[in-house]
Amino acid sequence: MSDFELLREPVLGQAECTAVVDELLKLRLLWTARAGSLPFFTFGAASYLDGMKIRSHYSERAAACNPMLLERFGWLLERSRRAISARLGLQVDWFPRAALPGFHIYLAHDIFALPVASIHYDLQYRALDLSNIADVAVDEPVSFTLPVSLPAAGGGLNTWEKKFDREGEGSSISRADVAGIRPKRHPYHLGEMVLHSGHMLHQAAPAAFAHPDERRITLQGHGIRAGGRLYLYW
């Protein structure tokens, strides 16, 4: 997969998306607030939030969250793993001792209609313990998003064709750095997985909420290649 390539793969039907959302709502007390007073949450451990500074904290969060993800969403994780394997033509496994893919949850708020999300590369593999994994290919990271709930106005991904500097690039990019590059918006569709290189510069596209009960919920994950396989984590 090139740095500028985006792939799509159908994974869930409408009824299955609704079932995932219903199950997540039952687990509301276990969501983790990630933006202070703004209604942005995660369900599961996320390496970019829990592990970029203190790796042991990420490991502890993953160990605490993974059992619940497997119990409530094991079927969804397995369906996603198989879909990624089929789409990329690779053997796909879970990264050992890392967090399983989890959920981004945005509840209705006017601010999310603005381009407030960070513009970034997915360099979460830098938070992983790669010491026991042979033949790791850090130049070929994969990221995926599977929407299970979207507001009526839709949601999507903004991308920029700005080549990743493998020598010294950080994960986040200022808006000034892409001022002369027009982003492309890729709309999401319920139940359809979007896969792209982690080295594709991207941003969660603004999402307008018309009603207070609308939500933007996506299953999120990343993959790193090693020994001819793709290992998934979040």
Per-residue pLDDT reduced to its tens digit, 50-108: 986 666 789 999 999 999 999 999 999 999 999 999 999 999 999 998 999 999 999 99
Per-residue pLDDT reduced to its tens digit, 6-33: 999 999 999 999 999 999 999 999 999 9
217 with 27: CB under 8 angstroms?
no
103 with 23: CB under 8 angstroms?
no
Q: Specify the pLDDT at position 172.
A: 81
Q: How far apart are CA 196 and CA 222, in angstroms?
A: 10
Q: Does residue 71 belong to any structural domain of this protein?
A: yes
Q: Does residue 169 belong to any structural domain of this protein?
A: yes
Q: Does residue 119 belong to any structural domain of this protein?
A: yes
Q: What percent of the chain has pLDDT over 70?
A: 97
Sheet with 184-187, strands from edge to edge, namely: 172-173, 119-120, 201-204, 156-160, 184-187
Q: Specify the pLDDT at position 53.
A: 67
Q: Between 134 and 170, whose confidence is greater?
A: 134
Query: What does pLDDT average to over the chain?
Result: 94
Q: Is the pLDDT of residue 169 over 80?
A: no
Start-to-end CA distance of the chain, whole Å, equals 19
61 with 127: CB under 8 angstroms?
no
- How many domains does the structure of the chain reveal? 1
Residues 6 or more apart from 37 whose CB is under 8 A from it? Answer: none
Q: Does residue 1 belong to any structural domain of this protein?
A: no
Q: Does residue 41 belong to any structural domain of this protein?
A: yes
Q: Does residue 17 belong to any structural domain of this protein?
A: yes
Enter the tokens of residue 197.
Answer: 């290189």
CATH assignment at residue 139? 2.60.120
Enter the tokens of residue 13.
Answer: 């039907």
Chain centroid offset of residue 79 CA? 16
Chain centroid offset of residue 17 CA? 17
Per-residue pLDDT reduced to its tens digit, 136-161: 998 999 999 999 999 999 999 999 99
Q: Between 66 and 129, whose confidence is greater?
A: 66
> Cβ–Cβ contacts within 10 Å for residue 51, how many?
26
Q: What is the residue range of 198's domain?
A: 6-233
Can you tell me the mean pLDDT for 175-194?
Answer: 93
